[in-house]
Amino acid sequence: MATATDKLPALKSSVAGLNQISESEKNGFINLVSRYLSGEAQQIEWSKIQTPTDEVVVPYDTLAPVPEDPEETKKLLDKLVVLKLNGGLGTTMGCTGPKSVIEVRNGLTFLDLIVIQIENLNSKYGCNVPLLLMNSFNTHDDTQKIIEKYSKANVDIHTFNQSQYPRIVVDDFQPLPCKGQSGKDGWYPPGHGDVFPSLKNSGKLDALLSKGKEYVFVANSDNLGAIVDLKILNHLIRNKNEYCMEVTPKTLADVKGGTLISYEGKVQLLEIAQVPDEHVNEFKSIEKFKIFNTNNLWVNLSAIKRLVEADALKMEIIPNPKEVDGVKVLQLETAAGAAIRFFDHAIGINGPRSRFLPVKATSDLLLVQSDLYTLEDGYVVRNKARQSPNNPSIELGPEFKKVANFLGRFKSIPSIIELDSLKVSGDVWFGAGVTLKGKVAITAKSGVKLEIPDGAVLADKDINGPEDL
């Protein structure tokens, strides 16, 4: 096996010959690998972790109200840019192409809703908030085609690509594209921590600064709750905070999410991967670590420029082992939230759960397509009729995993306003106008097709066969 010291020169000379990527991508990649090989990952000293105060993680309810004067609001908004992380494919949900073009509600996709929301802001206040989409080489071509339909929209849309790095073959630490893997499988996008250098390398950062833009609101394109919030923007500008991470109280569904801590006088993101084994249960408890990162981030553009140019954003490296055609490969990634400790006056804002509504699976799609939500001006708004502050927990079996199968198995999405939990397994089909309340479990035995009739009302029921209906 090659040792750490001789791995790098050999990798470097191979990467130099990869003509598919730019010099800045080659340098960024080699930089990342050399940090990884130097084993610089600093272990967190558990005893030094402190719970952040309200100065560092500001409660949303304490934010000052937004100025009443629309002219003042326009001034605020003219400093803002919205950036959606659009590098992901919808593969986990059985879709080809960018995840952001999955239809969410009323025939509208994630991207449609985002464009409608920003158009409404621009029209209402006469401002010009641009939309940036950070694509990956996986989503770039499709996204370019898709955004043509917004050419008449009242919003400037810009796209740029995040870096493209070669996967590393574990055996001999050589780039996979040098081993005859000429297709897309030889490459990977190195996580959303790459948003900062990519903004700079694409020329977008300088262009935005020259237009007087000051803050970028970064969010995942699949988080329907990540809408522009004037109170947060106003707070950051007034307090000169260079970075803000939105957090929200943890529920049992979020125990793996990263959390904010105070560490050696700075606010820092603590991810489960950094936690020593003997403290993992403590990390997952809702008592000690009460909040988690929503990945809604607000960042000052001049600060990004300063830190990228100084090569100061050395976020924790996340090694992600994969297998491509039976070959074990390694891809090294970083996360944007981990950059918080490099910015001045960085804070968290502990906000409402409504700002975190990600669609990661068809069970989430069921929630947002149901009567639990309505659509107003492109915003997905929670139905006031729902008594519980929490959403129902929903577990759908593998038959429902792909969007097409999911949609095929529901004649219409059931009413779930009074639902606490739903568990479905096996070959289950739902008729139209079904109502689910309380705790419902539906299990079709192997080889049995179980159809829930039109108009059925299931309240606190376990259904194991047609006889239980």
60-79 per-position pLDDT tens digit: 999 999 999 999 999 999 99
Would you state the pLDDT for residue 42?
A: 65
Answering whether pTM is above 0.85, one says: yes
pLDDT band at 123 (very low <50, low <70, confident <90, very high): very high
Query: pLDDT at residue 38 above 70?
Result: yes
What percentage of the chain carries pLDDT values higher than 90? Answer: 90
* Residue 158 burial (C-beta neighbours within 10 Å; 0-12, 13-18, 19+): middle
pLDDT digits (tens, 9 = 90+) for 152-176: 999 999 999 999 999 999 999 999 9
Task: Find where tokens 């470097």 sit.
Answer: 12
> Cα separation of 360 and 102, whole Å?
11
Would you state the pLDDT for residue 256?
A: 87
Stated length of the chain: 469
Residues 460, 464, 469: CA angle, nearest 5 degrees: 65
pLDDT digits (tens, 9 = 90+) for 398-426: 999 999 999 999 999 999 999 999 999 99
Element (H, E) at 218: strand 215-220
> Cα separation of 161 and 203, whole Å?
11
Would you state the pLDDT for residue 3?
A: 62
Query: pLDDT at residue 33 above 90?
Result: yes
Partnered with residue 262 across adjacent β-strands are 50, 267
* Token output for 179: 């081993």
pLDDT band at 279 (very low <50, low <70, confident <90, very high): very high
pLDDT digits (tens, 9 = 90+) for 378-388: 999 999 999 99
Would you state the pLDDT for residue 4?
A: 63
Sign of CA dihedral 140, 146, 147, 148: positive
Query: pLDDT at residue 126 above 80?
Result: yes
**Is there a contact between 144 and 303 (Cβ–Cβ < 8 Å)?**
no
Helix, strand, coil percentages for the chain (3-state, nearest 5): 35, 30, 40
- Mean of the per-residue pLDDT values of the chain: 95
Query: pLDDT at residue 41 above 70?
Result: no
* Token output for 244: 């803000």
Query: pLDDT at residue 469 above 90?
Result: no
> Cα separation of 457 and 346, whole Å?
50
Query: pLDDT at residue 2 above 60?
Result: no
What ranges in 126-251 are assigned the alpha helix state H? Answer: 140-147, 195-201, 204-210, 230-239
Query: pLDDT at residue 297 above 70?
Result: yes
Partnered with residue 249 across adjacent β-strands are 291
Q: Give the pLDDT mean for 202-210.
A: 98
Query: pLDDT at residue 263 above 60?
Result: yes
> Cα separation of 407 and 400, whole Å?
8
